[in-house]
Structure 1
Amino acid sequence: MPGSVLRIVKTYQCLPLLLAVLAGLVLTGCSQPENIITSVHTLNQRIASTLDTDAVQLSYSPRPAPLPAVRQLKPAGQPVGMSLLTSLRLGHCNVGQQIAQRNSALGRLEDGLMRLQGDIKLLQGLKECIKQPKSAPLVDELQRAIEAKSRQLQFDTAHALATDKALRNALDIGAEPLQKVDPAAFNTALDALTQIVNWLQQPGPQPHLHEWREQLAQSDYLNRLSRSVVSMRLKLRQLQAGLPPLTRATGCDSKGVPQRAKVLRNVFMQFFINDVQADLALLTTQFQQYQPLLRQLADISPQPALTGYLVRLSEQGQQLSKVSKSFVQPWQEFFANCGFTPGED
C-alpha cells in the first residue's frame, strides 16, 4: 500500500512536465514549416504587437498567370509523317536505323527536347544519305523529305518547348516558396538550364542533353525561387498597404519621442533590416542570374503565349526590388519625424 501511494505521488509530480512536453509536441505539429517568406510574417506580427493593432492579412494574391498548359502551347498542324520516310527504304544509310528507332515503341514515347534532338539527327541523317551513291534513285524523294523536315524545325521546337516535362518543371511557378536559399542547389539547376538554352540556340547532337534534363526534372529549386520572389513582392505590398501612418500611430507627431516609437524603430531594424532585407538580397541576387535565361527562352519560343509568360516571369525580380524600395519610404519618413538615425541604439 505505501508503495502504491508513493507511485501515485510521483506520477502527479511528473504530470506538469508531461503536459508541458505534450503541449510542445502539439504546437510543433500544428505550426507551419518556416520558409524564406516567414520573415515577412514575423515582421507583420511584431509591428502589430507594437502598435497594438491586428496583423495585416497577408496572402498569395493576386496570383500571377500560370505557365500555359501543354494543350495551349502545342503547335497546330501535322509533322512530316514517318510513313513517308519509312517508305523510302533507306537501309543503306545510317538514317535508316534512326527511322526504325523512331518507329519503335520506345521511339514513339520520346517527347520534348529529346524528340527535338531526334528530329535534328534525322534531318542531318537525310542530308548525309542523299550524298551516297546508292541513294541516286531516291534523290528527288530525299530532297523533298529534307525540305519538308527543314520547314518543320520551328514546329518541332514549339512542340518540344510545349511538352518537355523537365523544362516545364523549371519554368513553372512553384506551389511553395523555398525553405532557404541554397547556392549549391541553385547553381546545379541554373547550370543545367543554361546548357539547355545554349543548346536550343544551336541545336544538334548532344550526349549530355538527357543528363541536363534529368537535373531539371529532379529539382524544384527554380520554380520555388520564382514562387518566393512573387510571394515576397505580394506580401510586402500588402503589408505596406495595411500599415497605419507610422508617425501618428507612435505619437511622434507630438512633443518628445514616445517609448512605442523607440520600440517600433527597433522592430524595423531587427526584423526588416536584419531578416527581411537579408532574404530579399539573397532572392534578388539569384533571380538576377536566372532572369537572362528566361529572356533568351522567350526569344527562342515560337509560341506567343509562352513568350508572354516568360517575359512576365523575367520581370518579377525588378518588380520585387521596386516594391521593397517603396516599402522602406514610409519608414524613412517615420525615422525622420521621430528624429531617429538608422543604426543608432
Structure 2
Amino acid sequence: MTVQITINKTTQPKEKPAVDNPLAFGTIFTDHMFVMDYTHGTGWHDARIEPYEPFLLDPAAIVLHYGQTVFEGLKAYLNEDKEVVLFRPEENMKRLNRSNDRLCMPNFDEEFVLEGLKQLVSLDADWIPDRAGTSLYVRPFIFATQPYLGVAPSKNYRLMIILSPVGPYYKEGINPVKIAVESQYVRAAVGGTGSAKTAGNYAGAMKAQEVAEAGGYSQVLWLDAKEHQYIEEVGAMNVFFKINGEVITPSLNGSILEGITRKSVIELLQSWDIPVTERKVSIQEIFDANEEGTLEEAFGTGTAAVISPMGELFWSGKKCEINNNEIGELSLKIYDTITGIQTGKVEDPFGWVVNIE
C-alpha cells in the first residue's frame, strides 16, 4: 500500500480510570481510534488516527441489514520494564483476513494495518493499566457501509481499531467456572461461518448463554450441529481436556474458530513434551472419563481470559465435577507461562511478543 497514516490528536483527553478502580471488561474506551476506508475501484484509502467519537452511518448500510462484518481481539501489555508489547498480533491480522474472505469482504495489507495498530496503541499507551490481570484490549473490526437493500457484498467498507483498558474477563478470574452443555441450540455448522470471527456467530449464541446464566452457569459448551454429541467450543473460547495424561482438543472442522491462544497452548505443550491431540471428542467421552477417574483437567482458552479452568459441566440433567472444582496443575502452569511471556516475567523462546516502544 502507498497510503500513509495521518494523525489528528484529541484536544479533549478523557479522564482515565482511577488506579484502584476495578475495570469491567469492554466498558471504557481510550482517546483515539484508527480508521481506514475501502471504496470499490479505489481500494483501501484515507488511513487515519483520530479522536474516539461516534460517526454517521447510512440507515441502509449493508452491515445493518445483512450482517457483513468481522472483528478481532488482542491485547497490549506493559512488561516488567514498562515497555508496551503485543502478543502474536500478526496471527490476528491473518485471521481477520481469513474472516474477510469468508464474508466476501476485501483483504487488507496486514503489515500496514498492524503498523496502524501499533501507532494507535503507542499514542494511547498511558491508558494501559499495570495492575496484575489487566491489559489494554485491542478491537479491530471491519463492516460494510454501502447503502443498499440487496443481498450482495458491499462495495464500500470501513476498518476501525478501538482500545479499552480491561480487567479479568470473568468475575471468577482464574478460578474454575461452571459450564452448561448446550443440547438444543447450535453455534455453527460445518460449511457455515463458524470458523470466521463474525458478529452473527455471537448474536446467535446469546439465547443459549442467557439460559445458562439463568441456571447459574458462566458459559455454554457447544456441541456439533449435526449429531449434538461432539464438543466444539465453550462460549467465546476453544476448549481442552486432560485425560489420563493426554491433552485433547477438538480438531478444527470448519465450524470451530481457530484460536490464537489455542495455537499457542498446543505449541507450548509440544515444547514441554506433553502429549496433545487434536481430534473429535464427544461429551459422552468426557463424562465417561470423569466416572472412570481419568478426567484430570478441563479449560477454555482465548484472548480475553487466556486460560479459564472448568470446575463443573452440566449435561442432560447430570453434573460432572472436574478436579474437585479446583484449578489443575497444568492449567495453572499454562496460564502462568503465557501471561509471564506476555509481561516479560518468563522468557519468550517462541518470538511471540512484539515490542512497540
Higher relative helix content: 1
Q: TM-score, normalised by structure 1?
A: 0.25
Which structure is richer in relative contact order (CA contacts within 8 A, separation 6 or more)?
Answer: 1
Higher relative strand content: 2
Greater Rg, structure 1 or structure 2? Answer: 1
